[in-house]
Chain A
Amino acid sequence: MTVRKIFDEELSELKLQLVKMCRVTEEMMADSITALTQRDYELAQSVVYLDKKVDEYEMNIEKQCLRLLIKQQPVARDFRTVSSALKIITDVERIGDQAADISALTSSFKEEKSFDCPDLIPKMGELAIKMVKEAINSFVNENPFAADDVIKADDEMDDMFDEFKKQTVEKIKQNSQCADTAILFMMIAKYLERIGDHAVNICEWTKYNESGVHVKV
């Protein structure tokens, strides 16, 4: 039985807001990949617009956390949850930025005639979305094992990135004409790889929330 009903409700609300913020970034990532593969420049533009929404969520959740810290002066798990949420929004906000960056780069392909999006890009995109989604789920469901799975998945992401790097080098060697686009794709791959790192950061907070120890993996 709990005597802190209102606080518990506020904590649930905080988690709900986190999930909503994350949903926006998932949509941004999915749209940015679609915009890229389909050369849909309007869609790319809308992703940049969605980034404002993410920033808004960040501000509001931050306010909510600070208010809870002052009002409830949380300790133990409550304290860990609120402070983790404060740290997590920074990573989620960066994920939004990276999706927006991908879309901004997409516009650079407008003038390109030869356009051939490498297969690995949508694959990395899919994995990035999955990692982010599961990272935030691991936090709200208080599941450190799910966090471990995401951390493992990041190895897969890193492998794909290394593979992509090799492919890009090969491509440029074979046909220096495509160097410009190859480098743009390379940057996109780097953004996706970074998104994976942010998902891992989120998972570290999930694990901190459960164990009380913050370990960098």
Chain B
Amino acid sequence: MEYGQNISVKQADLYYGDFHALKNINIEIPAKKITAFIGPSGCGKSTLLKCFNRMNDLVEGCKITGEFKIGEVDIYKTNDVNALRKNVGMVFQKPNPFPMSVYDNIAYGPRTFGIKKRAQLDEIVERSLKQAAMWDELKDRLNKSALGLSGGQQQRLCIARALSISPKIILMDEPTSALDPISTGKIEELCGELKEQATIVIVTHNMQQATRISDKTGFFLLGDLVEFGDTDQIFTNPKNEKTENYITGRFG
């Protein structure tokens, strides 16, 4: 069974205890495209995103049913969560660099997966930083603490960190919500470049961001996937009235 770059979810339900957080989700996320999840706070966007790398496993009382496939692999049927995490990288809302050097931040993942040779790590650090368009900025500061970077730089470092393991899929949960427009622009540009090699799923509250960068958009409401389609269609001609009301700001 091979990890692929498309995500296929069939009849998925998720409960946090008694709370039904995801309701019969069916979605086909295409490979090497950017898919955006939008919807009001608490509708389950992050919950679904976290299903894709089994981060919800850690949540007590969380019960998941249905099928989640990444390529051929049914990810809740495999016992090798390490292999899953090697293929699926994640970037969070708040930049969360480890309290260590820039270099060690990026080498952390590859080291966890058993890479020890310095030359190989050097190569990975350089490639990841280059992909995140940070090499020139940071090549002379590799040994400085990552905590000394600006918020925007920290977030791009976290993206570089996610890239260090060459994931097939990158999950991003509101990656730019704490950033200024310039840093946001850099990350959006980066997403556009990354989709040549990886599938990106991004949660965003910024509707313009979804229209700017994504190919597909899913609109969630109270645990339902209300509408999923081409981003152009969702934002110019949504089929569902709830989608229309939400994106035009006439919600509630």
**A contact set with B: CB distance below 8 Å:** 1-4, 7, 73-80, 211-213
Given contacts A76-B237, A76-B248, A211-B237, 8 further A-B contacts (CB under 8 A): A2-B250, A75-B211, A75-B235, A76-B235, A76-B247, A77-B248, A80-B237, A213-B237
Q: Give the A-binding residues of B (Cβ under 8 A).
A: 207-208, 211, 233, 235-238, 243-244, 247-252
CA distance A9 to B207 in the complex (A): 22
| A76-B237, A76-B238, A76-B244 given; A4·B207 CB < 8 A | no
**Closest chain B CB from A131 CB (angstroms):** 27
* Chain A residues positioned under 8 Å from B233 (CB to CB): 212
Please give, as numbers and ranges, the residues of chain B lying within 8 Å of A1 by CB-CB distance: 252
**Across the interface, which residues of A come within 8 angstroms of B250, CB to CB?**
2-4
Collect the chain A residues with CB atoms within 8 Å of residue B251's CB: 3
Instruction: Say whether, besides A2-B250, A3-B251, A4-B250, A77 and B235 are in contact (CB < 8 Å).
Output: no
User: Complex Cα distance A78/B250, Å?
Assistant: 11
The answer to whether B208 touches A73 (Cβ under 8 A) is yes
Q: How far is the CB of B233 from chain A (nearest CB, A)?
A: 8
Q: How far is the CB of B164 from chain A (nearest CB, A)?
A: 36
Closest to A73 in B: B208
Report the minimum CB–CB distance from B89 to chain A (whole Å).
30
- Chain A residues near B244: list those with CB within 8 A: 76-77
* Contact residues in A for B235 (Cβ distance below 8 Å): 75-76, 79
Q: Distance (Å) between the CB of A123 and the closest chain B CB? A: 39
Select which of B207, B211, B252 is within 8 A of A3 by beta carbon. Answer: B252
Cα(A4)–Cα(B211), bound, Å: 20
Shortest beta-carbon distance from A83 to chain B in Å? 9
Q: How far is the CA of A78 from the CA of B247 in the complex (A)?
A: 10
Bound together, the chains give a CA A212 to CA B250 distance in angstroms of: 19
Are A3 and B236 neighbours in the complex by a CB distance under 8 Å?
Answer: no
- Listed by A's residue number, 30 A-B pairs whose Cβ atoms lie within 8 Å are A1-B252, A2-B250, A3-B249, A3-B250, A3-B251, A4-B248, A4-B249, A7-B249, A73-B207, A73-B208, A74-B248, A75-B207, A75-B236, A75-B247, A76-B237, A76-B238, A76-B243, A76-B244, A76-B247, A76-B248, A77-B244, A77-B248, A78-B248, A79-B235, A79-B236, A80-B236, A80-B237, A212-B233, A212-B236, A213-B237
Closest 8 CB pairs of A and B: A212-B237, A75-B235, A4-B249, A2-B250, A75-B247, A76-B244, A76-B248, A78-B248
Alpha-carbon distance A73/B233, docked complex (angstroms): 16
